[in-house]
Amino acid sequence: MITAQPRTTALRQPEIIILAGKHHRLSGKPSRLRGSVTGRPVRAVIRSDDNKLNVDSARKMIEKANEALAVSRNGGIHVRAVITIRKKMKEKIIDKFEDNWESFINGIGKGILIQLISQDIDLDTHSGKSAESHVRGWLPKPTNNPYIVEYGADFKVPQDFGSPGAILITNFHENEFFLKEIVVHGFVEGPIFFLADTWIHSRKHNPESRIIFRNQACLPSQTPPGIKDLRLEDLKSIRGNGKGERKMHERIYDYALYNDLGNPDKSDDLVRPVLGNEEWPYPRRCRTGRRPTKKDPSVETRIGKPHPVYVPRDETFEEIKQNTFSAGRLKALLHNLIPLIAATLSASDIPFTNFSDIDKLYKDGVLLKDEGRKEVKTNQFLTNLINQVFTVDDKLLKYDIPAIIKRDRFSWLRDNEFARQTLAGVNPVNIELLKEFPIRSKLDPAIYGPPESAITRELLEEELPGMSVEQAIKEKRLFILDYHDILLPFIEKINLLPERKAYASRTIFCYTQNGILSPIVIELSLPTTPSSPSNKRIFTHGHDATAHWIWKLAKAHVCSNDAGIHQLVNHWLRTHACMEPYIIATHRQLSSLHPVYKLLHPHMRYTMEINALARQSLINGGGVIEACFLPGKYAMEISSAAYKSTWRFDMEALPADLVRRGMAVDDPSAIGGVKLVIKDYPYAADGLLIWSAIKDLVESYVGHYYSAPNSITADIELQEWWNEIKNTGHYDKRNEQWWPNLASIEDLSGILTTMIWTASGQHAAINFGQYPFGGYPPNRPTLVRKLIPQEGDPDYNEFLLDPEYTFLTSLPTQLQATKVMAVQDTLSTHSPDEEYLNQLHHIQRLSFHDPEVQQIFERFSAKLEEIERIINQRNKDIHLKNRSGAGVPPYELLLPSSDPGLTGRGIPNSISI
């Protein structure tokens, strides 16, 4: 066990504030005049010519300094705390009055009480030594930001007080306030920072004081004795007990099932199963505790938009950033703009009938109805939103040209582009090496028919360039995109939905000698029927006009499969939903003093709020995903089925996932410990650079804090954290044998690297390309509305007469496409205040006084800068045909940094959109 030794810190003698310039701040550095130097009362205050002090102010400051000197002579010391508060952005007159009143109350010392708690024990109370004071007085604004204000609080503490390790803060105002930080001046060690970035609740809501720890990192066994009890108390205060409805001001982290997606009280069509049980397993979400619905007590009532869904108070979007934060745009988009689009197009929701109809979205725009234009004009926030997301004038809503057609408007038609996007598109995580032949399903043959695929050896060898199937498999030249088993159990139900027709697809690709991946065979399957015991259709690209168009329709069905699995499984489930239990457990079990908490903190920003918003308007019954994507009302059931059959924490590590899919082989000498089977695999090649950088950072960091033998197993907080993630957060997977142990530095490093990669690189790779690739509906249709016509079908002759019409009318309607394009655009956009992976977060910058830890983070930032240069060089390499060439967009989704906007690049620290 590592034990901390109590320490008595000498206190600095009182100092006189030197006022110089308009924006002076208190400093821990010695002032020009100090009572402790002369030993005499102070008779003057230094001032600059541009900051005149009136006589009363000067007298008060002199009195304050002399009082401090007297305290020092009597064996005590004067200490000052500077409290930085961020005001709310308010517009109403009553709110401004309340703001001024609160400022006045703080000024006279009646609004905020703070207590300094020493790291040393008081022998009488057996707890940390304490000193308290009310915040009073105003300090000059430290910046030009009108929403930042500072106050001071003065303390008289004894010489043997020690060093403060925590602050208790009590808010006597009617309303909460946002505390940025507290800096304590007067100790020999210099200014002591207490970074807060938290909402301080009103005492009327909760009489308990908030605990703010100083910016230091320590394991539970290293906690200074004076704040050891506070460390436990703070953790207990934010753990829920599974009871009661949560209030918006609370900071309670607890778990719940996904039982708030449906709305049975409103309509039978909005009944959805509860996710998080044996039939429909799922990760847990944050508990809100709302009352049950009338028709089904197992289902929680929904909050009508635009009212917010509860998340712990500090997880909400910062108000001061709402106008620029991309998730704020998403909220306005869902609650305001999408209804306007629907009102404009719903009465005449028609399909695209020619390619000119699609081109008009970017050239001419959508003509908004009169009432829509009126609302845009009167809603300033909505006006700003639309101006940011689209080009809009008095009548038109116009979309930006997506990257996929910006350089080459016909690239989406080509087979090599269809294949390239499996390696360098928005969903590059499903392609696998074909390892065995024949291809067999794992579904129950009694229900789903013969397990053998209809793709035969003879069929493949007709398409292979002079080699046998066995030779192609041995040389690793055959790859597969297989959505058969995950989708076939849902196809019959999906096809009963209006305007939805789907198959379960398999697509075989050949990787040629010249480094080109090309699709050669597509299999589309329907459920078996008594008359069709094997309902599988085979498509090849063919050489005549009819086969060409049939092949194009088959690729569209594959793309709709791919779009649905991407959105529901790879994007929502594997990043958003699976991260939420890690975040909840981190807050419940790891103190903010814990080094692992500090490491993970930047990677948790806003994820719970964006997930709550998704449950409210995106993945809910009747939401945007159901309306615009292939699975319709069965969307979340498919997501649950994927969680049940394929999700494993140990396989979320990038190298492990690549090896599992056969896209890489183990190679300790290679980056990330694996060697790629296809060298020109942009997602994997760039991802392994990012993965390795994160891994090096985490291993160095963990090794620094856990250098003592058995320190991992002895860390009570850490062990409870990991147990809670496995046994509560992912309760339905709790008995799986693949969960990593947590007994060594290697174990912890692997776990943390996987979490940070998931929140940063993995999410960036599958999120920020949504509009660049999906913003052109023919390239990536999110659903298909017709089965492929066959000879003898009533519409087959119509297809022969006008194949373009058949193709376009099979795609999403104009309303569906326009809605999903608007959402994809917003989800793909970086906000101006985004925090990126290569930036040292302020939590980490201020929390570590250890030079070695600072160097660890500095090396990480330098490594990411090097990676950015490498990726840029790769994008210029003419031999890498999946990221360069005529009309080919460069692969930039895993560049560490980005400018604001729809850039198609950049890795944010967290899942914040």
Instruction: Report, as residue numbers or ranges, the catalytic residues.
Output: 571, 576, 763, 767, 913
Is the torsion defined by CA of 837, 843, 846, 851 positive or negative? negative
Pairing of strands 76-86, 210-213: unpaired
Q: Are 602 and 843 in contact (CB under 8 A)?
A: yes
Closest CA to 767 of 906, 624, 603: 906
186 half-sphere exposure, CB direction, 13 A CA radius: 30
Q: Helix, strand, coil proportions of the chain in percent (round to 5)?
A: 45, 15, 40
Q: Are 262 and 271 in contact (CB under 8 A)?
A: yes
Closest CA to 698 of 575, 584, 600, 606: 600
Closest CA to 909 of 570, 572, 604: 604
DSSP state of 830: B
In this structure, the number of other CB atoms found within 10 A of the CB of residue 322 comes to 16
Environment class of residue 378 by beta-carbon count within 10 Å: exposed (0-12), middle (13-18) or buried (19+)? exposed
444 half-sphere exposure, CB direction, 13 A CA radius: 3
How many whole angstroms separate alpha carbon 621 and alpha carbon 269?
Answer: 8
Q: Are 560 and 567 in contact (CB under 8 A)?
A: no
Q: Residue by residue, what is the 3-state secondary structure of 568-592?
A: HHHHHHHHHHHHHHHHHHHHHHCCC
What is the full DSSP assignment across 155-184?
A: EEEETT---EEEEEEEE-SSS-EEEEEEEE
DSSP state of 226: G
Q: Encoding tokens for residue 255?
A: 């778990």
Q: Residue by residue, what is the 3-state secondary structure of 288-327?
A: CCCCECCCCCCCECCCCCCCCCCCCHHHCCCHHHCCCCHH
Buried b (16+ CB within 10 A) or exposed e, 393-432: eeeebbbbbbbbbbebeebbeebbbbbbbbbbbbbbbbbe
Closest CA to 326 of 814, 898, 716: 898
| CA–CA distances in Å: residue 593 to residues 221, 586, 844 | 11, 12, 12
Q: Encoding tokens for residue 760?
A: 């940063």
Paired residues of 674 in beta bridges: 666
Q: Encoding tokens for residue 220?
A: 């539970």
How many whole angstroms separate alpha carbon 855 and alpha carbon 858?
Answer: 5
Q: Encoding tokens for residue 510?
A: 């050949």
Paired residues of 676 in beta bridges: 664
Closest CA to 44 of 12, 13, 16: 16
Q: What residue has token string 């010695």?
A: 30
How many whole angstroms separate alpha carbon 736 and alpha carbon 648?
Answer: 9
Buried b (16+ CB within 10 A) or exposed e, 743-781: eebebbbbbbbbbbbbbbbbbbbbbbbbbbbbbbbbbbb
How many whole angstroms separate alpha carbon 27 and alpha carbon 185?
Answer: 7
User: What are the start-end ranges of the H helices in 206-301?
Assistant: 228-237
